[in-house]
Amino acid sequence: NGQEHFDDTSTNKKSPARKILQSFTPRLGEGRIFIGFRTSQTTGLAAHLAAPFVPTVEREAMDLQDPTLRMFNLELLEFAGILMRLTLEHGLSSLGVSYAKGAAERAALDE
C-alpha cells in the first residue's frame, strides 16, 4: 500500500524522500532569495523567494547599493511580501471555512 510506504518514509529522518523535501522547504528563518540561483541573502521566513531581482556585479546578492537598482529590488520585495501575505490569508480563510463546515460533526462527537 502506498500510504504505508509514505508513513514509513515520513518518520525516517534519513529517508531519500525527506531529504528531497527538505532541500526546497526551509525551516523557519532559513528561506533564501534566488536570482536564478541561491544567494546568501535570507528571507527571514520558512519560504524561498525567486524573482527577477537585479544582482550585484558578482551575482552574489540583490543590488541594494545603486539607488535605481535599490528602488527596483525593494519594490519587487514589497510586491512579493504582499503576495505572500495574500496567499497566507487565503489559506487561513479556506481553513476557517473547512473548520466551520465540520462544527456540527464535532458537536455531535462531543455529546
d(CA 84, CA 31): 13
CA 16 to chain CA centroid, nearest Å: 21
Q: Render pLDDT for 21-60 as a digit per residue (tens, 0 to 9).
A: 877 788 888 889 999 888 989 888 888 899 999 999 998 9
d(CA 107, CA 109): 5
Q: Say yes or no to pLDDT of 1 above 50.
A: no
Classify residue 108 by its DSSP letter. H
Helix and strand counts by DSSP (H, E) for the chain? 4, 3
Q: pTM of the entire structure?
A: 0.67
